Copies of this chain bind each other. A is one copy, B any other.
Amino acid sequence: MVKKGKPECRNGSRSGCPVNVSLERFGDRWSLLLIRDMMVRGYKTFKEFEESGEGIATNILANRLTRLQAAGIVRTEPDPEDGRRVHYRLTEKGIELAPVMLELLLWAARWEETAAPCEVMQYMEANRGAVVEEVKRRWRERDPVPFLPPFKD
């Protein structure tokens, strides 16, 4: 018995710190980009994620979608109009990542060189609550209009 036993609640995780738990769910280079695609761009299909701009490999994409489903952040529904297609959609747990996404967006827009237009960022910074609510509303009502288009760069 050299190692200290880990408590049962950990379930294989490194620690019970909530920040750590968050990172174990989506602390990689791709998961949050997929969540962004679903949350603000209205992307739904494998194809759309694949062509999203950052160039994710298809094996990684499939892997991340599976993991996000397993974590209850994403779920699938069949496309009623095309049997080949699957729609990936955020769950409530997933859409509740909107504040995280917004803060990531605002931080980078302020401290890094990005393609985000200044005036849009200023509005978002000054109206955090309203922005989050609008994102959630579109998700709830399945509003097909994306909240933000991809910033062209």
- Measured CB to CB, the residues of A under 8 A from B are 7, 9-11, 14-25, 27-29, 32-33, 36, 53-55, 72, 93, 96-97, 99-116, 150-151, 153
For the complex formed by this chain, how many copies does it contain in all?
A: 2
Q: Of B9, B33, B53, B104, which is within 8 A of A100 by CB?
A: B104
21 A-B pairs with C-beta separation under 8 A = A7-B153, A9-B115, A15-B53, A15-B54, A16-B115, A16-B153, A17-B115, A17-B153, A18-B104, A18-B109, A18-B114, A18-B116, A18-B151, A19-B36, A20-B33, A23-B33, A23-B104, A25-B112, A27-B29, A27-B32, A72-B111
Query: What CA separation (Å) do A59 and B149 show in the bound complex?
Result: 39
